[in-house]
Amino acid sequence: MTVINLINVSTITPVVAVGAVTTSRAAIVDVAADKCAKINSLIIANIDGTNAADITVEVSDDNGSSYVAIASTVSVPADATLVVVGKDNGFI
């Protein structure tokens, strides 16, 4: 893994990523090995008007070989949202 220099940053590029959550694992943010990403917010929205959804959010730092859960089997009620990462609990 490349060591990222967070002190002498040459470029900061804002990016908005949006992805659909399904019943299988999906990559929403993919970061090149020589880059660093700061996730400002991760909001899960359950748009099903009837059923709750169990959500697991995982992070991989080795290109998908292994994962660590930052939220595991959290129930999101119908027509509700879950803030997994927000301004009060930033995630780098």
**Of 69, 71, 64, which is closest to residue 86 (Cα–Cα)?**
71
Structural domains counted in the chain: 1
Beta-bridge mates of residue 50: none
pLDDT of 73 = 95
pLDDT of 77 = 96
0.85 surpassed by pTM: no
**Of 78, 24, 20, which is closest to residue 52 (Cα–Cα)?**
78
Beta-bridge mates of residue 69: 58
Identify the domain containing residue 70 by its residue range.
1-92
Average pLDDT taken over every residue of the chain = 85
- 66 has pLDDT over 80: yes
- 21 has pLDDT over 80: no
